[in-house]
Amino acid sequence: MKKTYTGSCHCGAVRFEAELDLAEGTHRCNCSFCRKNRFWMAFAKGDAFRLLAGSDVLVDYQHRPSHQAEPFLHLLFCGRCGVRGFSRGGYLPQFGTDVFHAVNLACLDDASDEELANAPVHYVNGRENDWANPILGETRHL
């Protein structure tokens, strides 16, 4: 069941809310960026994500996979404390929406330890741009 969670960066300058169903599944990715950031995410599709404060302090690092002409992901960070609370992406057919947000579960202020512990984790193979198939092999490092 979807629930509206609030989230923030470490210093509180960036605040957001997102409607998420953690029981639907969360994701860990092995691409170089997610791996280096230990990013654990759930997706908010369309208008299920709302930035409440901090648009003026966000820093936008744009990622463009080698097989795409335009940046696909906007990896957004708080310019004050450096925390990445979410990323914004463009159209994905499986989402059926023009925008999605990958919400960093570590930045949710009101998700209980139990909710996070019970959330299924899907390991996706971003390293090889094979997002539709799970990672084969070791995932404990993610």
pLDDT single digits (tens) 127-141: 887 777 788 888 887
* CATH number of the domain to which 40 belongs: 2.170.150.70
> In total, how many domains does the chain have?
1
d(CA 103, CA 106): 9
Side chain identity, residue 71: P
Distances (CA, A) of 136 to 120, 127, 140: 17, 12, 12
Output 9 or 124, whichever has higher pLDDT.
9
pLDDT tens column, 60-100: 998 766 655 555 788 999 999 999 999 998 766 666 667 89
- Residue 42 placed within a domain: yes
By C-alpha distance, which of 24, 22, 34 is closest to 141?
A: 34
Q: Which domain holds residue 12?
A: 3-124
- In this prediction the pTM is 0.88
Query: 66-76: buried (b, 16+ CB within 10 Å) or exposed (e) per residue?
Result: eeeeeebbbbb
The pLDDT score that the predictor gives to residue 73 is 82
d(CA 21, CA 42): 8
